[in-house]
């Protein structure tokens, strides 16, 4: 390859926050080596596709980005990594006449070196049995281009094997980043001026399972909160049975841990949950939501729902709608079931038609609108701590997310961008929330001051 100082690389990232973190690590490494990072729409010497396979649509988008790179520069080195590359490496190889570099998830720490190598790529060298991987890839990141919040990958892998999910096959078993490495990365982000860090992983609630006694998500949060970081921490998705009173008490007592939890429900029907191989029932989920609401009255509680899982009849779907209507949540994400190769659900009886799945998703989307409007309206009159992100929106107002995950538009000078500022919530119009900057007033919302459990 030509001299590194003259090389260009373009990176496409599909899927989850973990992929986004890992792509940010690639960017940091390429830039350290003097390689210019350009937009994926441009002609580049190297293209990296960090793929996703969580749904059939994500897999199709991954293939589309690979073909796009091949068209844009047939002479370029194409490097494909991520979950689609992990589970469908042969399909990736067959997409092109030229050699492609395929880097398995367990070897992402080698990706930049592989991309810059003069040697042809060897599939056998860079792939492997992800299920045997016992150490997490250490991928340091300096900055997230164009973002005011940083993602910090603390964990990889999953041991759950839900019947619809391909992730354990693509990501392997639970592996955790050592606490000192987490603190080190958080310190970098704090020094770089980030005011919010999202702790992310494939199964965040299982953090520390592989590190031995005394390790876990709550001890890690306590360690982070005990450091003099000028940032707040947001937890990404947790399983409902991983929400403990210790966690909630920490969120109540520590203003650095924001009051926001995202809990995947998937279905409100117990029989459907059992077929999904989920480890809780609908009533248990409702109890967890009530416990969170008791501890943190103004917390944002979000949920995931899957529409049209095999065997989900009208009664089961109605049970889901009924449960969600009763839950005191702030928002929900609904998506249709997607058959994934190699999973138990792929061949289950009672497959639901695409049209019916789309109908159910539309019903749940309407329910999301109702829940968001009610949650946002409850914030009117309170003062929230908002991370200002910029004014590139339809209202040409500053926009940011509050500590309890309310997107707020407000009038403010450009210099408050990337700062956490107090904003009074004034009104809600359809799905948009508007407020007023109240510097230097102090926030008056719950929280972090919620209700401790004894």
Question: What pLDDT was estimated at residue 1?
Answer: 53
Residue 381's pLDDT band (boundaries 50, 70, 90)? very high
Answer for the pair 81, 46: CB distance below 8 angstroms, yes or no.
no
**Residue at 418 is within a domain:** yes
Mean pLDDT in the chain? Answer: 92
Structural domain count of the chain: 2
Q: What CATH number has the domain bearing residue 429?
A: 2.40.50
Check pLDDT > 80 for residue 377.
yes
CA distances in angstroms from 290 to 250, 286, 303, listed in the order given:
17, 6, 14
Weakest-pLDDT range from 96-110, 303-317, 435-449: 435-449
Q: Is residue 49 part of a domain?
A: yes
pLDDT of residue 44: 95
In sign, the C-alpha dihedral spanning 155, 334, 317, 372 is positive
Whole-number pLDDT of residue 97: 77
High-pLDDT (> 70) share of the chain, % = 94
Residues 6 or more apart in contact with residue 208 via CB below 8 angstroms: 176, 215, 216, 217, 219, 220
Q: Is the residue at 248 inside a domain?
A: no
Final residue belonging to a domain, choices 128, 154, 170? 128
pLDDT band at 444 (very low <50, low <70, confident <90, very high): very low
Residue 106 located in a structural domain: yes
The answer on pLDDT for 46 being more than 60 is yes
> Residue 382 above 60 pLDDT?
yes
| Amino acid 302: pLDDT | 98
User: Do the beta carbons of residue 231 and residue 199 sit within 8 Å?
Assistant: no
- CB proximity list for 223: less than 8 A, separation 6 or greater: 179, 182, 183
**Residue pLDDT, tens place only, 206-260:** 999 999 999 999 999 999 998 878 899 999 999 999 999 999 999 999 999 999 9
Whether residue 368 is contained in a domain is answered as no
Residue 440 has pLDDT above 70, yes or no: no
- Confidence tier at 128 by pLDDT (50, 70, 90): low
Domain final residue pick, 128, 150, 165: 128
Question: How sure is the predictor about 447, in pLDDT bands with cuts at 50, 70 and 90?
Answer: very low
Q: What is the DSSP letter of 380?
A: T
Length of the chain: 454
Last residue of a domain, one of 128, 152, 183: 128
Residues of the domain holding 107: 4-128
Q: Which pLDDT does position 119 carry in this prediction? A: 79
Calpha distance 202→169 (Å, rounded): 12
The CATH number assigned to the domain holding 119 equals: 3.40.50.12160
Q: What is the pLDDT of residues 184-197, one digit of tens each?
A: 999 999 999 999 99
Residue 56, pLDDT above cutoff 60: yes
416 in a structural domain: yes
pLDDT class of 96 with cuts at 50, 70, 90 = confident
Residue 104 lies in a domain: yes
The verdict on residue 183 lying in a domain is no
Q: Is the pLDDT assigned to residue 450 strictly greater than 90?
A: no
Q: Look at residue 427 and tell me whether its pLDDT is greater than 50.
A: yes
What's the pTM value of the predicted model, to 2 decimals? 0.90
């Amino acid at each position: 390859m030509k001299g590194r100082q003259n090389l260009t690389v373009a990176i496409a990232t599909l899927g989850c926050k973990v992929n986004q973190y890992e792509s940010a690590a690639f960017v940091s490494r390429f830039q350290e080596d003097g390689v210019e990072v350009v937009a994926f729409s441009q002609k580049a010497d190297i293209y990296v596709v960090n793929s996703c396979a969580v749904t059939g649509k994500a897999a199709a988008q991954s293939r589309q980005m690979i073909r796009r790179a091949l068209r844009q520069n047939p002479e370029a080195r194409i490097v494909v990594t991520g979950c689609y590359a992990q589970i469908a490496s042969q399909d990736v190889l067959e997409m092109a006449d030229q050699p492609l570099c395929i880097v398995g998830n367990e070897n992402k720490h080698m990706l930049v070196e592989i991309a810059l190598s003069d040697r042809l790529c060897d599939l056998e060298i860079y792939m492997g049995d992800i299920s045997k991987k016992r150490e997490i890839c250490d991928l340091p990141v300096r900055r997230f281009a164009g973002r005011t919040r940083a993602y910090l990958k603390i964990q990889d892998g999953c041991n759950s094997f839900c019947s619809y999910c391909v992730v354990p096959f693509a990501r392997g078993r639970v592996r955790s980043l050592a606490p000192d490495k987490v603190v080190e990365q958080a310190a970098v982000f704090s020094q770089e001026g980030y005011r919010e860090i999202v702790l992310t992983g494939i199964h965040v609630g299982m953090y520390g399972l592989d590190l031995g006694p005394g390790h876990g998500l709550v001890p890690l949060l306590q360690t982070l909160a005990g450091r003099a970081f000028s940032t707040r921490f947001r937890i990404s998705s947790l399983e409902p049975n991983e929400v403990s009173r210790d966690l909630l008490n920490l969120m109540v007592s520590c203003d650095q841990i924001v009051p926001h939890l995202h809990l995947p429900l998937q279905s409100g029907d117990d029989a459907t949950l059992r077929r999904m191989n989920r480890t809780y029932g609908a009533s248990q989920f409702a109890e967890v939501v009530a416990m969170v609401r008791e501890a943190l009255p103004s917390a944002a509680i979000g949920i995931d729902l899957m529409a049209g899982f095999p065997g989900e009849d009208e009664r089961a779907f109605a049970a889901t709608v009924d449960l969600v209507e009763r839950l005191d949540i702030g928002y929900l994400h609904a998506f249709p079931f997607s058959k994934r190769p190699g999973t138990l659900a792929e061949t289950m009886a009672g497959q639901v038609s695409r049209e019916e799945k789309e109908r159910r998703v539309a019903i749940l989307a309407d329910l999301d609108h109702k829940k968001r409007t009610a949650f946002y309206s409850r914030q009117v009159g309170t003062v929230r701590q908002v991370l200002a992100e910029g004014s590139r929106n339809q209202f040409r107002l500053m926009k940011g997310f509050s500590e309890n995950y309310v997107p707020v538009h407000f009038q403010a000078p450009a210099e408050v961008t990337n700062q956490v500022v107090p904003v009074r919530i004034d009104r809600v119009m359809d799905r948009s929330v508007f407020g007023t900057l109240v510097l230097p007033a102090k926030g008056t919302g719950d929280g972090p001051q919620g209700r401790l459990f004894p």
